[in-house]
Amino acid sequence: MNRPAPSARVDVIRVSGARTDHTEDVVAGEEPMEIRLAIPQEDGVFTRSLSVTMRTPGDDFELAAGFLFTEGIVRGKEDIARIGYTSDGKREQEGNLVTVSLRPGVRLDPKRLLRHFYVTSSCGVCGKASLEAVRVFVPGPLPVGRPRVSEDVLRGLPARLREAQAIFAETGGLHAAGLFTPDGEVVGIREDVGRHNAVDKVVGEQVLRNAVPLSDSILQVSGRGSFEIVQKALVAGIPVVSAVGAPSSLAVDLAREFRMTLVGFARREGFNVYHDAGRLAFGHPSPSR
């Protein structure tokens, strides 16, 4: 099977000052990936298309597992029998169609399946409906006051994430998500053109290792702290989310409701804490709230 590549070489005209050159550049790969569910039934196996997302090829099985888990469709590795590529005999689908086969007896919520059939992983539903949907499949309350994370560790995570972005170094065009221990050690890092996909990939790796919930982990993302990032982290049981960019108002609302530590504008010089500084150990007097 010829699988799509995570990057590609393209011809460009590079203009620099008064000079114009014909040369090559490396760009991030972007391909549609369809996720299908194979559901065992008494009279055979029913297969249905669940979602299509634009992603950077690579770690596709982790992306599929992470998406199904963070969207509350499967509870963990125990619900998944196998994951594999399929193509339906169409060359253009090779490496872009992933089928997740469920184990017999897995109970599915038909309403959630219907929602994801029409909505790709880049959006979800908005506002109050989103908050209500998250409440349904949150695994439980986040641990209060733990893990303890030092200010210095948080300051260093964006640089550690950037250093591990191999494809970004080639293309300059990818988001990244990284899981870290409270001491700042790397658990896993994944890249993708979609920031939500990067999170699904890094969480999906842990789902397939049967290592969720991730109650002693920090999630560092290269972009903004959007609602879908916080939602996916919450379902995975991640208590601390740090973003290089700004959070959205709905992301802050979600962090407040579920007592998640949410950090934005994270960099070596400092960061903003948008909710719950109680897990953070500061090298100077702590803020009053």
Report pLDDT for 110.
72
Report pLDDT for 119.
43
Q: Whole-prediction pTM value?
A: 0.88
Report pLDDT for 270.
96
Report pLDDT for 213.
94
CATH of span 149-281: 3.40.140.10
Report pLDDT for 15.
94
Domain ranges of the chain: 31-127, 149-281
**Sign (positive or negative) of CA dihedral 82, 85, 89, 90:** positive
Choices 3.10.20.10, 3.40.50.1110, 1.10.10.10, 3.40.50.11720: CATH for 31-127: 3.10.20.10
Report pLDDT for 256.
93
Report pLDDT for 247.
96
Say how far apart CA 8 and CA 12 lie, in whole Å.
Answer: 12
Q: What are phi and psi of 14, to 5 degrees?
A: -100, 125
Please list the pLDDT of the chain residue by residue as tens digits (289 residues).
678 888 888 999 999 999 999 999 888 888 999 999 999 998 889 999 988 989 999 999 999 999 999 988 999 999 999 999 997 766 667 789 999 999 999 988 776 676 555 444 344 444 445 556 565 566 667 888 999 999 999 999 999 999 887 776 677 768 999 999 999 999 999 999 989 999 999 999 999 999 999 999 999 999 999 988 999 999 999 999 999 999 999 899 989 989 999 999 999 999 999 999 999 999 755 454 4
* Residues identified as active-site: 123
